[in-house]
Amino acid sequence: MRLFKRLLPLSVLLLAACGGIPTTSAIHQGEDIIGGSDQFIRVIARPPVANMEPEAIIHGFLDACADSTSTFAIARQYLTTKAAAAWNPATGIKIYDSNSMSLTESGEVVKLAAPLDSSVSADGHLTFSSHAETVFANFGLVKDTGNQWRISSVDNGLLLSRSDFDRSFRPFSVYFLNEDSTALIPHSIVLPASSVGTATSVTRALLEGPPTSLAQAAHSAFPSGTKLSYGSVPVNSGIAQVDLSAEVLAATKVERSELSAQLVSTLSAIPGVTGVRVTVLGQPLKIPGVKNIQTQADWTRYSIRPNPDRVGTFVVRDSQLIRLDDKREVVVTSVSAAALAPLGSAAVSSDGQSFAATTSDGKSLLVASSLGNGLARIAQGEYLSKPSWDRQGNIFVADNGHGILSYLRDGTKVPVTVEATPIGDVIAIRQIVVAHDGTRVALNYRSGTSDSLAVGILVHEDNGIRITQIHRVERSIVTIADIAWSGPNTIEVLGGNTQTYQELLSVDVSDGQVTSEAAPLGAQSIANDGYGNILVGVSGTTREAVVKKAFGPWEAFVLGRSPFTGTMTK
């Protein structure tokens, strides 16, 4: 599924899960059509024909909802004049399973019922059904002056089959700044796959600022009121031309760098865009040390993609944490108390200064400085998950049956509030992994014998931490052994869609698409090394090892367990 945002003017965007769904692809001047590998089959709706029966009218309208051309002009032809004027397709999307859809006529009303696959809310969340849910809709029908059936009453929003949705829309990321402006946070919007105004649409969404769902944890560097001077963002020979209004001149030097990083990251995600030229009322926006045509290379300091040159790869071996350094093995720290159980999993802080680890029995959480102190216990639990750090130095673990716990490096407990969700209670959370931006978290919920993957937002408050806006991001996963963020919108999952078969699943949280491949025998844990290589800890009959894969077969990498990666100190 795709995501969308809050309601915007119809000429801009309609909703999008964390974004907005445009009702029209006619946006002033669009960019050049650029060839690429992202091919799609455009949905071309058919208008009504004479003497269609009520059920055929409903089917025609539902099919036409997949064609956004001219603000769903063809879909509106199935409505009466009054209903066409009143219908607002921008209030949300319900995605249903068309294989089990039923239509029932009752007088001059046709009732629709279908299994709900997923939905996109007005405040921007793609949510997959956690339980067996059904979407219902009633369509009133009357005959018009030409004695033809037309829909006289219809609920606002879009009803789309899964296949129509996947064919008709594409996700794009709009980037905002995290709380301390150290990294960019992607926010997904959906646009019609056939649109030629993508650069204009994503830039307008960016200038609108963070949506409600993200506003508590993110912000924008653009001064209030900033807009496009000419109403469009043309792309010529790969260069996106963004001309902004005079409000942007009020931005400080730091803010100009930040807003440029937002723009360049947002527009560079469009296939074929290689650079961005930013002007204000026709004049270049001056940023010290940056050329007129900006690229992502100018703003790597805001990137949430790990820098391969600074990513260290580590493994757990018995009671030691080992860094793999130029084919050498370096012991970075070890357990200081011999009475503790061997280590089970570990993580390094975002600044590379500290390590957190749990023991193999899940009973203890330990922390050590990278400056030489050994791992010392700071907390205990029933069965603690793999630890994860945010950018503020908070350590997160999930404790079996007790929810999420958070601690500072010195062992100070940080209160954590997890907002209620239909997915499950906080005590059902088995693992939490903080994204590289320090703002989003991946959560593994256990319900009975099944697991679900969800994403939430970390909000740092004066009296603790709150995890909000939690929503399920996939529909097919049944078991989860381990999870790891591998990109701005990608979570790697060691799990499967059955209780017995283990796979490596790559989940795109912007649209819920899942790709899979077979996991190595004995897979227990997963990590990503910053170069795009997947590392998997496997347990054999006599020893534990880590295997690696980039292209081709799995290769033996190093002895040890629970691989993890993170920033290395220089």
176 in a structural domain? no
Average pLDDT over residues 159-169: 89
307 has a pLDDT exceeding 80: no
For the record, the structure tokens of 4 come out as 């969308």
Q: For residue 14, what pLDDT band results from cuts at 50, 70 and 90?
A: very low
* Residues of the chain above pLDDT 90, percent: 62
| 282, 405: one domain | no
Q: In the listed set 296, 326, 352, which residue is the last one of a domain according to the structure?
A: 296
Q: What is the DSSP letter of 261?
A: H
Distance CA 127, CA 1 (A): 9
301 in a structural domain? no
5 has a pLDDT exceeding 70: no
133 has a pLDDT exceeding 60: yes
Q: Residue written as tokens 């527009």?
A: 267
pLDDT averaged over every residue in the chain: 86
Q: For position 548, which CATH number holds?
A: 2.120.10.30
404 has a pLDDT exceeding 90: yes
33 has a pLDDT exceeding 50: no
State the pTM of this model. 0.86
Looking at the structure of the chain, the number of domains it has is: 3
Residue from 133, 218, 214 nearest 180 by CA: 218
- For residue 94, give its domain range: 15-168
Q: For residue 403, what pLDDT band results from cuts at 50, 70 and 90?
A: very high
Amino acid symbol at 35: G
Distance CA 356, CA 370 (A): 10
| 549, 424: one domain | yes
Residue 265 pairs with which residues in a beta bridge? none
Better pLDDT: 191 or 71: 71
**How many residues appear in the chain?**
570
Residue 341 to residues 28, 319, 320, 405, Cα–Cα distance (Å)? 66, 8, 12, 21
Confidence at residue 98, expressed as pLDDT on a 0 to 100 scale: 92
Confidence at residue 9, expressed as pLDDT on a 0 to 100 scale: 32
Confidence at residue 21, expressed as pLDDT on a 0 to 100 scale: 42
Residue 480 pairs with which residues in a beta bridge? 495
Rg (the chain; Cα; Å): 25
5 in a structural domain? no
| 399, 502: one domain | yes
By the 8 A CB rule, do 321 and 355 touch? Answer: yes
What is the secondary structure of 168-236 as a DSSP string?
HEEEEEEEEE-TTSSSEEEEEEEEETT-S-HHHHHHHHHHT-S-TTTTTT-B--SPTT--BSSS---EE
177 in a structural domain? no
28 in a structural domain? yes
Better pLDDT: 27 or 246: 246
Q: In the listed set 147, 168, 189, which residue is the last one of a domain according to the structure?
A: 168
276 has a pLDDT exceeding 70: yes
Decide the pairing of beta strands 555-559 and 544-549.
antiparallel
| 283, 366: one domain | no
Better pLDDT: 385 or 510: 385
| 143, 208: one domain | no
Distance CA 299, CA 290 (A): 10
Terminal CA-to-CA distance of the chain, rounded, Å?
42
| 292, 312: one domain | no
Phi then psi dihedrals of residue 73, to 5 deg: -60, -40
In the three-class reduction of DSSP (H, G, I as helix; E, B as strand; rest coil), residue 485 is classed as strand
| 414, 548: one domain | yes
Decide the pairing of beta strands 416-418 and 464-472.
parallel
Q: What is the DSSP letter of 518?
A: E
Q: For position 99, which CATH number holds?
A: 3.10.450
Amino acid symbol at 83: A
Choose the most confident range, by mean pLDDT, from 151-160, 297-306, 417-426, 445-454. 151-160
| 335, 290: one domain | no
Q: For residue 125, what pLDDT band results from cuts at 50, 70 and 90?
A: low
By the 8 A CB rule, do 489 and 474 touch? Answer: no
| 353, 403: one domain | yes
Residue 520 pairs with which residues in a beta bridge? none
CA 103 to mean position of chain CA atoms: 34
Sequence-separated (6 or more) residues with CB below 8 Å from residue 188: 2, 3, 16, 17, 18, 19, 126, 171, 172, 173, 174, 489, 509, 510, 511
Residue from 163, 196, 211, 204 nearest 4 by CA: 211
394 in a structural domain? yes
225 in a structural domain? yes
Q: What is the dihedral of CA 518, 521, 526, 532, to 10 degrees?
A: -50
| 491, 530: one domain | yes
Residue from 15, 65, 39, 89 nearest 193 by CA: 39
Q: In the listed set 148, 168, 188, which residue is the last one of a domain according to the structure?
A: 168
For the record, the structure tokens of 277 come out as 């030229």
| 534, 425: one domain | yes
Q: What is the DSSP letter of 318?
A: T
pLDDT in tens, 471-492: 889 888 999 999 999 989 999 9
Better pLDDT: 123 or 256: 256
188 in a structural domain? no
259 has a pLDDT exceeding 60: yes
By the 8 A CB rule, do 177 and 258 touch? Answer: yes
Confidence at residue 24, expressed as pLDDT on a 0 to 100 scale: 38
What is the secondary structure of 106-140 as a DSSP string?
ETTEEEEEEEEEEEE-TTS-EEE-SS--EEEEEEE
Residue 90 to residues 129, 169, 198, 219, 480, Cα–Cα distance (Å)? 21, 14, 18, 24, 35
| 430, 547: one domain | yes
